[in-house]
Amino acid sequence: MPNKAIHEVNRRSWNEGTKAHNSHKGDQAAFFRAGGNTLFPEERSLLGNIAGEALLHLQCNCGQDSLSIARHLGATVTGVDISDEAIRVARQLSRDSGIQASFHRADIYDFFAEASAVYDTVFSSYGALCWLSDLAAWGRGIAGCLKPAGRFVLLDFHPAFAMLDEEWRLRHDYMGGVRHEFESGVGDYVALTGAAAEIESLLPGIRDFKNPHPGVEFQWGVAEVATALIDAGLQLSHLAEYNYCNGFKPMSDMVDLGGRRYAMPARLPQSFPLMFSLVAELKR
Ligand SMILES: C[S@@+](CC[C@H](N)C(=O)[O-])C[C@H]1O[C@@H](n2cnc3c(N)ncnc32)[C@H](O)[C@@H]1O
């Protein structure tokens, strides 16, 4: 069963964290009006030609990637996120940029219960899996949203990466949905990552942000993620691991590869997985 009480804790934490993140990003509507695009080559290529298709973006936060997909890939986009602040900003950004997309504030598990099989593609990326309290229900929910032969596209940070602390020391379990509660809540990773933020002119914004609300994350292994989708009736057509990480630099000594991409420091093994991607199709 999804743990709705924990999701509410995370909603409060994301509301505050999102304000801190946006405080660094300047005029995002102007960025989009000028043709800005927050997508990385990996998700662009995984999504492929989706012009004219209906796409559901799960855990879309403030919708920057949703709007980029609508504008640059030509899909009709629906974004869903639990955070009130994220959805408020997403709607405002859509209005101010003139890019059409619809945004719903909801726990994805509630959204799944109401949704029907109208989407050609369901998409989720960068920091989504760790907030899911029930992976089997997530897989079933995605299957229920897809049209027959529809696709799910996922690109996320690797669970092996999430086992490590800022000094590259092992700190968490790998799998099993093991829960990690942290008093410090959703942090200001935009300020931490600096130039990795999608809007390049990073503003000082809120300094020394301290989230008043705690957060709760879950550790799911890659096989558990794939199994949840397979059990829900999807068929894997792609699975890949990457030894670099897009737009996120939690360890200060990560190597900057350019293009908002970061890799392992030279003193450590180079083939360590930092992201993974997966595509699965509904067999109906
Ligand atoms: C790291 S962000 C994802 C950012 C996203 N990749 C993007 O396009 O900007 C994680 C998001 O998951 C959302 N979230 C966490 N738990 C959720 C839930 N149960 N239902 C819906 N959204 C949730 C948070 O509010 C947050 O916006």
Residue nearest to atom 5 of ligand 1 (CA): 60
Strands (E), the chain: 54-58, 76-81, 102-105, 119-125, 146-157, 178-182, 215-219, 234-242, 244-246, 255-258, 261-263, 275-282
Neighbours of 45 (CB within 10 A): 10
In short, whether 86's Cβ falls inside 6 Å of ligand 1 is yes
Nearest CA to ligand 1 atom 9: 61
Phi first, then psi: give them for residue 26, nearest 5 degrees.
65, -150
Q: Find the 269 Cα to ligand 1 centroid distance in Å.
A: 30
Both tokens of 131, joined, read 């907030």
Evaluate: CB of 13 within 6 angstroms of ligand 1: no
Q: What is residue 251's predicted lDDT score, i.e. its pLDDT?
A: 95
For residues 178 and 186, what is the distance between their CA atoms, to the nearest angstrom? 18
Find out whether the beta carbon of 211 lies less than 6 Å from any atom of ligand 1: no
φ, ψ for residue 236 (rounded to 5)? -70, 135
Report the C-alpha gap between 19 and 23 in whole angstroms: 6
262 strand-pairing partners:
245, 256
Q: How far is the CA of 81 from the centre of ligand 1 (A)?
A: 6
> Which of 163, 172, 157, 146 lies closest to 229 in space, CA to CA?
146
Residue with tokens 């049209």: 147
Q: Domain ranges for the chain, please list them.
A: 4-282
pLDDT at position 188 = 82
- Within the chain, how many helices (H) and strands (E) appear? 9, 12
pLDDT tens string, the chain, 284 residues long: the values are: 999 999 999 999 999 999 998 888 888 999 999 999 999 999 999 999 999 999 999 999 999 999 999 999 999 999 999 999 999 999 999 999 999 999 999 999 999 999 999 999 999 999 999 999 999 999 999 999 999 999 999 999 999 999 999 999 999 999 999 999 999 899 887 777 665 445 556 787 878 889 899 999 999 999 999 999 999 999 999 999 999 999 999 999 999 999 999 999 999 999 999 999 999 999 86
What CATH topology corresponds to 4-282? Rossmann fold (3.40.50)
| Atom 17 of ligand 1: nearest residue by CA position | 82
Taking the model in full, what pTM does it have? 0.96
How far apart are the CA of 283 and the centre of ligand 1, in A? 27
Q: In the prediction, which pLDDT does 257 show? A: 95
CA of 42 to the centre of ligand 1 (A): 19
Residue pair 280/235 in contact (Cβ under 8 Å)? The answer is yes
| CB of 197 closer than 8 Å to CB of 38 | no
Whether residue 131 has its Cβ less than 6 Å from ligand 1: yes
CA distance 262 to 279: 23
Q: Is 65 in the pocket of ligand 1 (CB under 6 A)?
A: yes
| C-alpha 20 to ligand 1 mean position (Å) | 15
CA distances from 134 to 87, 137, 179, 183, 219 (A): 23, 6, 11, 22, 11
Cα 129 to averaged position of ligand 1 atoms, centre (Å) = 9
- For the Cβ of 90 lying below 6 angstroms from any atom of ligand 1, the answer is no
Q: How far is the CA of 124 from the centre of ligand 1 (A)?
A: 9
